[in-house]
Amino acid sequence: MTTQQPPVAKTVPAERTHHGDTVVDEYAWLTDKEDPDTIAYLKAENEFTESATAHLAALRDTLFNEIKNRTQETDLSVPTRKGAHWYYTRTEEGKQYGIQCRRAVAPGETAPPATGEGAPLAGEEVLLDGNVLAGDSEFFALGTFDVSPDGTRLAYSTDFAGDERFTLRVKRLDTGEVLADEIPGVFYGSAWSTDGSTLFYLTVDDAWRPHKVWRHTVGTPSSEDVVVYEETDERFWVGVDLTRSEKFILIEAGSKITSEVRFIPADDPTAEPVLIAPRRHGVEYSVEHHGHRFLILHNDGAEDFALAYTSCDAPGGWTPLIEHTPGIRLTQVDAFSRHLVVALRRDGLTGLRVVPLDGGRDYDISFPEPIYTVGPDHNPEYDTATFRLGYTSLVQPDSIYDCELDTGNLVLRKQRPVLGGYDPAQYEQHREWALADDGTRVPISLICRKGTPRDGSAPCVIYGYGSYEASMDPWFSIARLSLVDRGVTFAVAHIRGGGEMGRAWYENGKMLAKRNTFTDFVACAEHLTKSGWTSADRLIARGGSAGGLLMGAVANLAPQAFAGIVAQVPFVDALNTILDPSLPLTVIEWEEWGNPLESADVYRYMKSYSPYENVTDVRYPAILAMTSLNDTRVLYHEPAKWVAKLRKVSPESDVLLKTEMGAGHGGPSGRYDSWKEEAFMAAWILDRLGKA
């Protein structure tokens, strides 16, 4: 361990007053990214963290090599058919980024070509090589990757900073020429016209809200591009997409609780957008095209959503197709020429239901494991009799299946290779239920080595998120095996604020019910200790982003319940951020957290749980906070301020801050760099658990 003293951030008192409450924020100066003192402080924290963890260097190398040696580095995804080509992604040993490819469909070929050991397919055409595009850049991310309906042009966008501001380009696929078309400052998402002459894309406002849909004619200067739709309500963001049928371009506008959709015929890209149904406060709907109708997945009088349809020619009233069933949350509908496939949630598990359109009986695609995650994969073809899905569990590696829709028969196309003799039979997965303070039963998913003792002696990592109706469904992780093989149990707390148990599960963990998210997590931690899975001095909590808010909140709420906390890009200065409408995404977030500017009740409630506001002089569990300088979703200053305050108010606590100086919200972009970051966190966890 280091003998170096931790950094001490300067204090510069800054007052703010809201609803009669005056607060002095001594570390508000850290919000200035251009201040040399800010960068100096972040670098000093990095140096301290490096010194404090230097004794773990060999373990980090070991863990990195375990991840690397279990991964088939040269690999190839299952090819997906679109039109006359199979599209797929390859990785090559020693290279950080994927290679986007395609191969022509051979005469009579119906099944995807075999991927073998990841070698290039015969007749392969490389569309984009991320390694070439990245060059020597420390960061690289691909945003849009969109092939025109006729397969002749590719729209793609790149980010070299991690701030998710992309530059859009167009490539001719017959010649490989990158055209002069270059559009900076775009957001994710695009849509082609039928003939590939016109491209629709998005830009953001100063608050990083996608608010404009633009129309670009290929071969013309971007200065001539036309705004097709602009969203002026700051609570709403926009998206653009081409329907699977390639008949319509959809423009979606949505807030956290309200939405509306417009359409443009893809063969008439200069036409004015037509509104399908006007926005009504609290009504959410999404649209899928099917033949003469638009399918509408909505929550109008249907908390867990229902499916209806309306005419494409004259959108109007909604005719019911699948009625609302409380407790069965419909999440997505995919329409094909002869079938619908509905993704749903029931009893804390995901599912897929096939609806034949020839009058046949509906059926659910079934799987043998008690805990798993299943969902749609890439299905770009409209006229098809097969449906591609992804399947995984805590013990089963990611698998790709093709479901024969007429029969329900599943054909395994590929399971993610795990090298080194991985045997799922050596592991167990369990579903437990914790009892929250108000009597609510909260599900927990666990994985451990077979034979792990239940006497409180086993170490454990408990992971949580609990916001935005995002579900932390069971997933397989090669990196996690390095912990589990050392005797660490891994648990996922499916707490309120997520979507695991339906829409009500989300509603009861947001706004003025947000504290349920935090108390649910503590209840899950206490359940694990009472049930003998672990003990408080052997339990590490982990979460990121809004899950990082969770980490900060439970550190204040129940510091005695954990031996350590890993908080990745943590949203720990929540109140100050949501009070500032000039910051990225703040206004959009008011329908998730409440508006503390207008409501004194919301202000007081948020202040009661915001981690930065509630740091006290207690001995906190060891904390590892990780952030990125260019993050636009949770700004770097939130964990920086939090750590500075923890150091001052609780100087006896063991707190580390690690800042990626050239990355964004997702951390390092290359796969090897990501593995190194995972090894860094795993080594810290094992050290806290006495397993280093």
Report, as residue numbers or ranges, the catalytic residues.
545, 631, 665
Identify the bridge partners of residue 88 per DSSP, sorted by sequence position.
Answer: 101
Closest by CA to 298, choosing from 319, 270, 327, 312, is 319
230, two tokens: 């602009």
The DSSP code sequence of 346-383 is ETTEEEEEEEESSSPPPEE---S-SS-EEEE-----SS
Find the Cα–Cα–Cα–Cα dihedral 286, 290, 294, 296, rounded to 10°: -40
Cα–Cα distance for residue pair 281/686, rounded to 1 Å: 48
Decide if 261 contacts 252 (C-beta within 8 A): yes
119, two tokens: 């070698």
Decide if 577 contacts 571 (C-beta within 8 A): yes
Write phi, then psi, for 126 (nearest 5 degrees): -80, 120
Cα–Cα distance for residue pair 79/101, rounded to 1 Å: 9
Decide if 676 contacts 670 (C-beta within 8 A): no
Closest by CA to 588, choosing from 258, 182, 245, 186, is 258
The DSSP code sequence of 566-591 is EEES----HHHHHT-TTSTTHHHHHH
Helix and strand numbers (H, E) in the chain are 12, 38
Q: Look at strands 564-568 and 539-544 and give their pairing.
A: parallel
> What residue has token string 């009088």?
301
Residue type, position 536, single letter: A
